[in-house]
């Protein structure tokens, strides 16, 4: 529980002045909470984090990096008994925001900043690794096989299972073992930042500052480069990735001679494991915790996954993992989202049928969903033997439903509500609306209603309409 009074006490004791503003920063993916506190002449970020070990790791690493003249936030004060510490306020401009807001000549300046960041990375990995006490790292001292398996199973449990992708669990575990056994053969005697990406690099007075390294530990060089170049929402093209890859290698060679061929042998496998880790994180935060804005990153990660599979640079026999990943990139759910998020601005209406025996369909766009219509109030053809093996797509089932007065009334009224929103969304330039029809089994009534709404909207509006039958898709995957 955040204690505002304690946070202010720590600040005022450090500042020697009374505070006059206390502003929470937006909540990110972690349990850490940040607050900007200002007094007459000073400003700082107060951090509350209930994870004591993570706090100790961050403070130790920040002080260690400062000794090596690396730009990390200064630690001003700490009260670890209350899970609080005070750090330098580096402002609000990240390298990520600089990149996405730049164009033309300004983009050339962003490229230089990106190269500067990659030039600094080997100083963290190689120079700062000297004398670093890895026993103080969190949650483990090294990115070992257990850490890799954690990431792979994170992907399995929080992305694959929650998104409905089918797989053979034992065969997938066998491939995970093969994959992790290969990854641990890489040279891993360096500091691995773990979450080295443009969102964790601040720009202040034209200089780069590096944050969120509390998950760092001993590991390979390749992982951090993969994390940066294949970050989900920064769509570097392949040509630029090659330029930045070469720039990083030249920066590494300033500090240490490495075998570039061996480095490349492990590089793309680490790209893959990083993408899988990100998908697991997006699934956990989005599907499990219900933070829909994390789901908007999934299409970008899936697109990167598609690129890696196409390169065929991972020379390992991983049959079940390969089959499963191909199912992810070929899924209408994910591939469609990738194409839409990149290529179109017009309204997309996603219509789902589902069973109330399962959970509600998830809104991937971050807009929080739209309508949920309960079809259980209309006659159920599934109770009649002749219709039980059929679905709402079959003509005889549709004819039965269309002969029912209740069904016609239900459809008319739900269409009117949806149409009102569609017109409003188009006028306001909004891009996403989700409609869900649910029934007991997700096979007859909800499927019929979803199909009919799809037909109606396609005929009446110049919009993209996507119809998905959750239960039928699950049966197709069995």
Indicate whether 83 and 108 sit together in one domain.
Answer: no
pLDDT at 377 over 90: yes
The confidence score (pLDDT) of residue 290 equals 67
Indicate whether 173 and 208 sit together in one domain.
Answer: yes
Indicate whether 30 and 171 sit together in one domain.
Answer: no
pLDDT in tens, 236-257: 889 999 999 999 999 999 999 9
Cα–Cα distances in angstroms (integers) from residue 430 to residues 299, 300, 318, 435, in the given order = 19, 20, 42, 15
CA angle (58 as vertex; 136, 50 as ends), nearest 5 = 100
Helix axes 169-183, 260-283, angle to 10 degrees: 140
The confidence score (pLDDT) of residue 476 equals 42
Indicate whether 273 and 361 sit together in one domain.
Answer: no
Task: For the beta carbon of residue 114, count every other beta carbon within 10 angstroms.
Answer: 24
Q: Give the 3-state secondary structure of 212-253.
A: CCCCCEEECCHHHHHHHHCCCCCCCCHHHHHHHHHHHHHHHH
Residue with tokens 């164009």: 103
Q: Where are the alpha helices (DSSP H) in 87-217?
A: 95-100, 105-122, 145-155, 161-163, 169-183
Query: Domain containing 140 — which CATH number?
Result: 3.90.1200.10
Residue 20 sits in which domain range?
4-88
Point out the domain boundary residue: 40, 64, 88.
Answer: 88
The confidence score (pLDDT) of residue 220 equals 98
List of E strands, 328-378: 348-355, 371-374
Indicate whether 24 and 105 sit together in one domain.
Answer: no
Residues 6+ apart with CB under 8 A from 141: 134, 135, 217, 218
The confidence score (pLDDT) of residue 196 equals 97
C-alpha–C-alpha distance, residues 345 and 228, integer Å: 27
Average per-residue pLDDT in the chain?
Answer: 91
Indicate whether 276 and 385 sit together in one domain.
Answer: no
Cα–Cα distances in angstroms (integers) from residue 144 to residues 156, 209, 361, in the given order = 19, 28, 36
The count of structural domains within the chain is 3
pLDDT at 337 over 60: no
pTM to 2 decimal places: 0.73
C-alpha–C-alpha distance, residues 422 and 431, integer Å: 10
pLDDT in tens, 203-220: 999 999 999 999 999 999
Distance of CA 265 to the CA centre of its chain: 26
Give the single-character DSSP code of 159.
I
Residues 336-361: what's their mean pLDDT? 73
């Amino acid at each position: 529980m955040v204690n505002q009074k304690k946070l202010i006490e720590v600040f005022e004791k450090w500042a020697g002045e009374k505070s006059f503003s206390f502003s929470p920063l937006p909540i990110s993916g972690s349990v850490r909470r940040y607050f900007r506190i200002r007094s007459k002449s000073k400003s700082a970020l107060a951090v509350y984090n209930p994870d004591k070990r993570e706090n100790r790791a961050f403070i130790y690493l920040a002080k260690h990096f400062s000794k090596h003249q690396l730009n990390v936030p200064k630690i001003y004060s700490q009260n670890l008994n209350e899970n609080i510490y005070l750090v330098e306020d580096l402002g609000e401009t990240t390298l990520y925001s600089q990149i996405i807001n730049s164009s033309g000549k300004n983009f050339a300046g962003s490229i230089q900043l990106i190269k500067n960041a990659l030039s600094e990375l080997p100083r963290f990995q190689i120079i700062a690794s000297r004398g670093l006490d890895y026993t103080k790292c969190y949650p483990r001292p090294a990115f070992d096989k257990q850490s890799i398996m954690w990431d792979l199973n994170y992907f399995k449990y929080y992305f694959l299972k929650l998104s409905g992708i089918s797989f053979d669990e034992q065969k997938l575990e066998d491939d995970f073992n093969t994959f992790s056994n290969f990854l641990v053969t890489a040279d891993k005697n360096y500091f691995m930042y773990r979450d080295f990406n443009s969102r964790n690099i601040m720009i202040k007075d034209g200089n780069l500052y590096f944050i969120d390294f509390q998950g760092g530990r001993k590991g390979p060089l390749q992982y951090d480069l993969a994390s940066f170049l294949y970050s989900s929402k920064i769509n570097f093209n392949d040509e630029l990735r090659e330029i930045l890859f070469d720039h990083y290698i030249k920066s590494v060679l300033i500090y240490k001679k490495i075998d570039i061929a061996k480095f490349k042998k492990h590089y793309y496998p680490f790209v893959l494991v990083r993408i899988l880790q990100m998908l697991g994180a997006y699934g956990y935060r989005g599907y499990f915790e219900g933070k829909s804005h994390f789901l908007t990153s999934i299409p970008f990660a899936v697109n990167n996954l598609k690129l890696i599979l196409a390169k065929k640079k991972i020379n390992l026999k991983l049959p079940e993992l390969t089959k499963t990943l191909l199912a992810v990139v070929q899924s209408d759910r994910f591939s469609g989202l990738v194409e839409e998020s990149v290529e179109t601005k017009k309204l997309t209406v996603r219509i789902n049928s589902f069973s109330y025996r399962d959970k509600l369909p998830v809104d991937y766009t971050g807009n929080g969903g739209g309508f949920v219509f309960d079809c259980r109030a209309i006659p159920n053809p599934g109770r009649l033997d002749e219709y039980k093996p059929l679905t709402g797509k079959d003509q005889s089932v549709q004819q039965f439903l269309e002969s029912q007065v209740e069904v016609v009334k239900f459809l008319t009224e739900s269409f009117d509500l949806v149409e009102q929103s569609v017109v409003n969304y188009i006028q306001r330039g909004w891009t996403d609306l989700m409609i869900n029809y649910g029934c007991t089994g997700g096979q007859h009534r909800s499927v019929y209603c979803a199909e009919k709404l799809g037909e109606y909207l396609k005929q009446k509006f110049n919009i993209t309409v996507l119809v998905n039958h959750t239960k039928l898709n699950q049966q197709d995957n069995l």
